Amino acid sequence: MPPYLLGLRLGGRRVLVVGGGRVAQRRVPALLDAGAEVVLVSPRVTPSLEDLAARGRITWRQRPYRSGDCAGAWLVQAVTDDSKVNGDVVAEAEDARIWSVRADDAEASPAWTPASGHAGDATVGVLLGGDPRRAAGIRDAIVDGLRDGALESRHSRRKPVGVALVGGGPGDPGLITVRGRQLLAMADVVVTDRLAPASLLDELAPDVEVIDAAKIPYGRTVAQDRINEYLVEHARRGRFVVRLKGGDPFVFGRGGEEALYCARHGVPVTVVPGITSAVAVPSAAGIPVTHRGVAQEFHVVSAHVPPDHPDSTVDWAALGRAKGTIVLLMAVERMALIAAALMRYGRASDTPVAVIQDGTLPGQRALTATLDTVADAMAADAVRPPAIVVVGDVVDVAREIDMIRADMGRDP
């Protein structure tokens, strides 16, 4: 007969977990997320569970199971690799009329743990006759459908209010966060810029108003004041507004200005962080911005004004003296001046430099040079924005990786 599904509200309630292996490692975090007070009984536990105990997140009784351990529990999980112990735990729980789950024997288990997942405020649980693999596959399909809007219409959801500042990531539409995609699917109005993942706009419902707020380098631009006004105007009409931005809203994205403007006009704001291109684009090109023994720090710099300009707040002298990685945004037109300043203040002329254009997109391309040759190399290669410039020895780490791969790919 089919099981009766029930959502347990475990906040502040004790849950006993007997066993400290891989199954416990999967289940304990979910119990903690539900607010349970977890007591773990096992002579040994995985490193992750030991860390939870050390941080006071769970109570670990470092010993074998004993009769009486179930006392005071609302739910019991028997997840050891010893079938006899699991049977004893479940028998004690049954005698005490406590619901229990036995991981090793679905037929002997009084309760089953569903394959569960979350999409926004929806929690999905799937049971499939004790077959966890098939249940997980169906769970994944449902959750994915909810997250991308395929299983739920925009008008059937609980409508957010105000404005959401959503970071769209470095360009590839697959790199927007799950939360960002959920809110985008619920928008009445989308105010977008040129660095946001444009292909996501094609997935919007036909009645969603899209406002192009692009700031094109050395070309047409929409003033920031007007963008702020768009957000408040539409939100005050009761429309849910998504400000879709490239990268992260608060990393050179003027998200702080937009949040302040909305706050001053009484409009609630939700901020959804995005993957910043300052880290993601070097990664996509195989460049780690930090690397043990090479760089223990990295600096992210907006180079929209050159060194020595009165509007620049960047301490170029400190960057020239520093040993860490420098990641430059908006530097394409000013790279000759930037390279000269860094060398003047102490950076070696042969410091490796990488320039990545259209990072994470199908047209991504990269060049490598040195600090004294990079400006000429960029001009020769006709590099145009958007491009990220990475200065530092970490560029050589990527070169080493590429050489190893090339060597491995050669015929012996």
What is the model's pLDDT at position 113? 86
pLDDT at 317 over 70: yes
Separation of CA 66 from chain center:
42
What is the model's pLDDT at position 131? 78
* Cβ neighbours of 300 (radius 10 Å): 17
- Structurally, the chain folds into a number of domains equal to 3
Q: How many residues does the chain have?
A: 412
> In percent, how much of the chain has pLDDT > 70?
95
Domain assignment present for 3: no
Q: Are residues 388 and 294 in the same domain?
A: yes
End-to-end CA distance of the chain: 61
Q: Are residues 332 and 302 in the same domain?
A: yes
Query: Please, are residues 396 and 354 in contact by the beta-carbon 8 Å criterion?
Result: no
Domain assignment present for 118: no
Q: Are residues 96 and 180 in the same domain?
A: no
pLDDT at 116 over 90: no
Query: Please, are residues 115 and 132 in contact by the beta-carbon 8 Å criterion?
Result: yes
Percent of residues in the chain assigned helix, strand, coil, to nearest 5:
35, 20, 45
> Which residues face 245 on adjacent strands?
167
Between residues 133 and 120, the one the model is more confident about: 133
Q: Are residues 184 and 109 in the same domain?
A: no
> In percent, how much of the chain has pLDDT > 90?
71
Domain assignment present for 232: yes
Q: Determine the average pLDDT of the residues in 16-22.
A: 96
User: Which of 274, 302, 335 is the last residue before a domain boundary?
Assistant: 274
Q: Are residues 297 and 396 in the same domain?
A: yes
Q: Which residues are catalytic?
A: 193, 215
Distances (CA, A) of 64 to 61, 86, 310, 327: 8, 12, 69, 53
> Which residues face 298 on adjacent strands?
325
> Which residues face 328 on adjacent strands?
301, 389
pLDDT tens readout for residues 47-80: 999 999 999 999 999 999 999 999 999 999 999 9
Give the CATH number, domain containing residue 213. 3.40.1010.10
Q: Are residues 178 and 247 in the same domain?
A: yes
Q: Residue 193: phi, psi to the nearest 5?
A: -120, 175
Identify the helix (H) or strand (E) that includes residue 320.
Answer: helix 316-321
Structure tokens, 198: 């444009």
Sign of CA dihedral 338, 341, 347, 350: positive
Of 362, 368, 363, 398, the residue nearest 381 (C-alpha): 368
Distances (CA, A) of 185 to 63, 200, 205, 210: 50, 9, 8, 13
- Side by side, the strands of the sheet bearing 99-102 are 59-61, 37-41, 14-18, 75-78, 99-102
Sign of CA dihedral 125, 129, 133, 137: negative
Q: Determine the average pLDDT of the residues in 288-298.
A: 95
pLDDT at 241 over 80: yes
Q: Are residues 395 and 288 in the same domain?
A: yes
Confidence of residue 402 (pLDDT cuts 50, 70, 90): confident
Q: In angstroms, rounded to a whole number, what is the distance separating the alpha carbons of residues 232 and 189?
A: 11
Q: In angstroms, rounded to a whole number, what is the distance separating the alpha carbons of residues 70 and 65?
A: 10
Q: Mean pLDDT score of the chain, rounded to an integer? A: 91
Q: Are residues 394 and 286 in the same domain?
A: yes
Is the pTM for the entire model greater than 0.85? no
Q: 47-54 vs 22-33: helix axis angle to the nearest 10? A: 40
Range of the domain at 266: 154-274
pLDDT tens readout for residues 160-208: 899 999 999 999 999 999 889 889 989 999 999 888 888 888 888 888 9
Between residues 134 and 377, the one the model is more confident about: 377
User: Which of 250, 274, 298 is the last residue before a domain boundary?
Assistant: 274
What is the model's pLDDT at position 140? 86
Place of tokens 């003296």: 321
User: Which of 81, 113, 145 is the last residue before a domain boundary?
Assistant: 113
Least confident stretch, 57-71, 107-121, 261-275, 372-386: 107-121
pLDDT at 218 over 60: no
Q: In angstroms, rounded to a whole number, what is the distance separating the alpha carbons of residues 38 and 15?
A: 5
